[in-house]
Amino acid sequence: MTIKEVSEKYGLTPDTLRYYERVGIIPPVPRKKSGVRDYDEAACGWVELMKCMRSAGVRIEALIEYSSLFQQGDETAEARKELLMEQRRQLMERMEDMRRSLDRLNRKIERYERLTGKAES
Amino acid sequence: MTIKEVSEKYGLTPDTLRYYERVGIIPPVPRKKSGVRDYDEAACGWVELMKCMRSAGVRIEALIEYSSLFQQGDETAEARKELLMEQRRQLMERMEDMRRSLDRLNRKIERYERLTGKAES
DNA sequence: ATACTCCCTGGAGCCCCCTCCAAGTCAAGT
DNA sequence: ACTTGACTTGGAGGGGGCTCCAGGGAGTAT
């Protein structure tokens, strides 16, 4: 697959895909003779994973480390697991913040609804 | 209350508090004769609200608009409600992304746990 | 009175994460 | 052979959200 096709498939721009590869959150993508990127399934898998993690707010830095550990082979499995657990912890923390905020928004909106109701009655 | 006390109470730096006021997500804070900020309860309420919203990822721009509508008086109530509802929508969307990401993290971590288990047995 | 500490403002700087661009290469179409 | 167009690289630029000065004012302690 070309970079364009992958970009359409996952909703990331070609620039972003090149950026992700450059910083190393996506391992080097296979190339054609000409040097043009030719994404295979593994590469697409990385793209999808990183899109997912980024959309949840996981830092590039953490993803670089994960990817780099992965490329160092099996003996880094434990370290990767630690990293993932730490990210999970942070993710849950952020979700808790959001839950609080959502509660608050809901209460505020409700108040506005009561006001509007009164104004109409 | 001084800016320092407020900053300690809510865990935001004085710089951030001044920044929030400057961009207008917090309405002008009362001042002493000398020009020094003297946060009253209303001002603290705004700080707390904005801290909550920002920690959930609500954009400064949206908060500026909310605060500005608020300062324009009662006739903007409907517009404020719309704005809050839009923010709630976005918040729920982000939470859904995070839920997906969390599922994925959990599955990945589980896999690592099975690996570790095998290695130990 | 002098030092200390906290505050003020305006503006520059910084970090993160892309996003855009210039200059060049390759493959296909006419 | 030449144009077209999608790809390449390295590097600069940009937006969001703070964060950090420099330069100056006020209130308190010695």
CB atoms within 10 A of CB A114: 10
Q: Which nucleotide is nearest to A4 (CA to C1')?
A: D6
The answer to whether A77 and B115 are in contact (CB under 8 A) is: yes
Domains of chain A plus CATH, in order, are 3-120 (1.10.1660.10)
Contact across the interface for B104 and A52, Cβ inside 8 Å: yes
Mean per-residue pLDDT over chain B, rounded: 95
DSSP state, residue B38: -
Alpha carbons A19 and A64: distance in angstroms, whole number? 12
Instruction: Report the gap between the CA of B75 and the closest CA in chain A (Å).
Output: 11
In chain A, which residue's Cα lies nearest the Cα of B55?
A97
Residues of B in contact with A70 (CB under 8 A): none
Instruction: Report the gap between the CA of A61 and the closest CA in chain B (Å).
Output: 17
Q: Is A95 helix (H, G, I), strand (E, B) or coil?
A: helix
DSSP state, residue A97: H
DSSP state, residue B34: T
**What confidence category does residue A121 fall into, taking pLDDT thresholds of 50, 70 and 90?**
very low
Left if phi > 0, otherwise alpha if psi is -120 to 50, otherwise beta: which for B11? left
Q: Which nucleotide is nearest to A16 (CA to C1')?
A: C18
| One-letter amino acid for residue A49 of the chain | L
Percent of chain B at pLDDT above 70? 96
Question: Quick one: B105 exposed, middle or buried, by C-beta within 10 A (0-12, 13-18, 19+)?
Answer: buried
- B56, pLDDT greater than 80: yes
| Closest residue, CA to C1' of C26 | A34
**What confidence category does residue B121 fall into, taking pLDDT thresholds of 50, 70 and 90?**
very low
The confidence score (pLDDT) of residue B118 equals 61
Residues engaging strand D (CB under 7 angstroms): A 2-5, 14, 18, 22, 31, 35-37; B 13, 15-16, 19, 32-34, 54, 59-61
Q: Measure CB to CB from residue A102 to each of B91, B97, B104 and give the nearest one.
A: B91
The answer to whether A79 and A69 are in contact (CB under 8 A) is: yes
Alpha carbons A79 and A67: distance in angstroms, whole number? 11
The pTM of this model reads 0.91
The average pLDDT across A10-32 equals: 97
Q: Which nucleotides of D are covered by protein (CB under 7 A)?
A: 6-10, 16-21, 25-27
- A70, pLDDT greater than 90: yes
All residues at 6 or more sequence positions from B106 whose CB lies less than 8 Å from its CB, including other chains: A88
The answer to whether A28 and A67 are in contact (CB under 8 A) is: no
**What confidence category does residue A115 fall into, taking pLDDT thresholds of 50, 70 and 90?**
confident
Alpha carbons B97 and B49: distance in angstroms, whole number? 24
* DSSP letter for each residue of A12-78: --HHHHHHHHHHTSSPPPPB-TTS-B---HHHHHHHHHHHHHHHTT--HHHHHHHHHHHHT-GGGHH
